[in-house]
Amino acid sequence: MKRLHLAFVLSLLGAIAQSASSGTLASDVPSLGYSPQNMDRSVNPRQDFYRYAAGNWLRKTEIAPSDPDVGGFTLLAHQLDTQLLALIKDAAASSGLPKGSPRQQVGDYYKAAMDTSRRNALGLQPLAGDLQRIAAAKGTAADYGSLAGRLQDGFGSSPLINAVAMPDAKNSSTYVLALVPGSQLLEQDEYTKPESQRLREIYRQYIVALLNGSGDTVDMAGNNATRILVMESRMAAAMMSPLQMREPANNYNMMTLAQAQALVPALDLRAFLKALGISPPARVQVVDVKAMKALQRFLADQPADDVKLLMRWYTLGVRAAELGAEYRAMEEEFSRLRKGLKVPPAPERVVTQQIGAQLYHPLSQLYVQANFSDTTRREITEMVGHIKDEFTSRLRSNTWLDDVTREAALEKLGKIDIQVGYPARWVDFSALDIRPDDHFGNVQRAARFAFQRDVNQIGKPVLGDRFAVATKTTPIAVNSAYNFTTNTIDITSAILQPPFYKPGADAAVNYCAIGAVIGHEITHGFDSLGRQYDPQGNLRNWWSADADRRFKQRTDVLVDQYNRFEILPGLMHNGAMTVTENTADLGGITLAHAALRRAQAKNPLPVVDGLNADQRCFVAWTQMWAFKARSERLRFLVSIDVHAIASVRAIAPLLHLDAFHEAFGIQPGDPMWRDPKQRVVIW
């Protein structure tokens, strides 16, 4: 029967020709950095503070066609991608660069990725060896172990089981091997929620297109797609939920390799580890025991042809974006429809982000050299000291902590190591072979390099790398992050620009933007998750029973508050899943505002644009979180994100601050009023 994949792409998924659109915002859209022009002063702040603080920005700003949302992170990400692309193109235009140097790796990766003619000519050839191995498998335990290991080694993950190296939560100075559930291309609840039915149908058609494009007839591809969805749904249903995974005790299941093997005799773990190049360790951490037992039932019940079909699909689906235009277009359009985008992101932007994810330190080195100021580093380091001092003072005067827990908390705070901008020691990527004519190979070798670097440390001391979690803590990530197992905070160079920070700007704005971000990260060491780790980063309860009870009383108020936010009609926030981040938001703005007042005691700030320092502080916080998103994006975030929706973050923490109510004269009966009995002071 005639294949349908091209017709599918062109008719069902839309016109690909539009993908050349960059989707950048129009130049007349106001920036999200603090500005009185972004306010809507026709709105009474006591009635709707969000619209008062950011109403003009919300009214004038549209979501770019290639973005799922728009806000501070999105706008800065666009600016960052522009900066990075200039550095990448400069490296790609250079010649005679030393092999293994950052510029050579970055430039050659870009050249190979943008060589569409070569990628088109190769077709499915880069996958041929793995597809043949899957087809030849007999369905033995050794086959399943070897194939799962081969897929993770070559493609970053497998649909059956995966291995990661991570610090032992109870001995965080040493790496341990962790066995984690297999991967699927949808999120767990997207396989079951009624509101995800349209997405499941889009996903099914995507499976049909790729299977048809790789040799199945139309009828065969349709039948196979149905089987794949059933299998993926079964696997996903057996896993812990994201909320369950947030509890360290649920996933700290240490056992011998033999005990882990007894959970899943149908998959040979030694064959799995051998394919990954890992020597079998004496003990392993099984992250999800329930999922491991479910994998055994799945492999025992399911015919070998079904399991092989699942692995064949995963091989196609997880790397379609790295193949020629025919297959890449299918993946682009599935991703576009899933996110509700008008057009896919521009190819250059996709490659820029891919280089940032895989060659994170080579590209970061180029970025820091070109764009980051040591003056900024010094100023932020000074602000860190002020906010940390404020937290120290608050711990000492805290009325609900007992003395033993207070002293332990002070010890932990004193040992938090906070670094700004970039690491003292870069990860050495020089051994990674990046070629100008092998995009698929570059992607695989870079993934293997990162994986092997970690697993080589199993049973050995933790490497102690800083700014080295790809897309999260690298200098080119718009982020800052607290690490529970090392008790450290990395504040990246990329986030130290508007809307989060502006050198020499109004202290009221800088303190309540980037200062609140810093306070947020410090608070993470003492939130519902971070407080379970001691000053050395080990999973250990150092709280008294009374302090534990008093803390939970306070965070339960936050859970209830955030549960009441309706994001879309019928779609409520999950206060339990977001409580750690909500606690950190409350701590962040509380600490930042208090530190600002300390600074003002020495250097009073004037009224500016009719706003005093407290008022500018709270407006700056809310403008930082101003946000618009497509409905698909909102549903996705509520489903999986441990952060509250940004527009909720813009307001919810402020309602607990007496100073916020005083700054704007908010009275009982006003919509923005929160009764003092319901205001939570944690730190």
Q: What is the mean pLDDT of the chain?
A: 93
Q: Which two tokens stand for residue 563?
A: 């549960």
**Tokens representing residue 437 in the block:** 């004519």
For the segment 559-597, what is each residue's pLDDT rounded down to a tens digit? 999 999 999 999 999 999 999 999 999 999 999 999 999
Q: For the chain, which residues make up each domain, given as ranges? A: 124-322, 373-415+507-678
Asked whether the bond before 499 is cis by omega within 30 degrees of 0, the reply is yes
The pLDDT assigned to 29 comes to 52
Nearest to 596 by CA among 674, 677, 663: 663
Exposure string over 195-210, b if 16+ CB within 10 A, otherwise e = ebeebbebbebbbbbb
| Residues 71, 627 contacting (CB under 8 angstroms) | yes
According to DSSP, the residues that pair with 166 across neighbouring strands are 176
How many whole angstroms separate alpha carbon 51 and alpha carbon 49? 5
Q: What is the mean pLDDT of residues 311-317?
A: 97
pLDDT in tens, 19-56: 233 333 334 455 668 999 999 999 999 999 999 999 99
As its CATH architecture, domain 124-322 has Orthogonal Bundle (1.10)
Residue 176, phi then psi, degrees to nearest 5: -130, 155
Q: Among 183, 144, 166, 216, which residue's Cα sits nearest to residue 319?
A: 183
* pLDDT tops 90 at residue 554: yes
pLDDT of residue 33: 84
97 φ, ψ (degrees, to nearest 5): -75, 140
Residue 328 has pLDDT above 50, yes or no: yes
Let me know how many helices (H) and strands (E) the chain has, helices first. 29, 11
pLDDT exceeds 60 at position 7: no
User: Is there a common fold for 124-322 and 373-415+507-678?
Assistant: no
Q: Per-residue pLDDT averaged across 409-427, rounded?
A: 97
pLDDT digits (tens, 9 = 90+) for 359-369: 999 999 999 99
pLDDT the model gives residue 602 = 86
CA 529: distance to chain centroid? Answer: 17
Question: What pLDDT score does 319 carry?
Answer: 95
Q: Residue 176: which H helix or E strand, with range?
A: strand 171-181
**Residue 70 near residue 64, CB atoms below 8 Å:** yes
pLDDT at 21: 33
Average pLDDT over residues 112-125: 96
Task: Indicate if the pLDDT at residue 17 is higher than 60.
Answer: no
Is the four-CA dihedral 450, 451, 454, 457 of positive or negative sign?
negative
pLDDT at 30: 55
pLDDT given at position 595:
96
pLDDT at 350 over 50: yes
Interval 377-387: pLDDT, tens:
999 999 999 99
Fold of 373-415+507-678: Collagenase (Catalytic Domain) (3.40.390)
- Whether the predicted pLDDT of 421 surpasses 60: yes
pLDDT digits (tens, 9 = 90+) for 481-529: 999 999 999 999 999 999 999 998 999 999 999 999 999 999 999 999 9
Confidence bin at 99 (pLDDT 50/70/90): very high
Residues 333-344: what's their mean pLDDT? 95
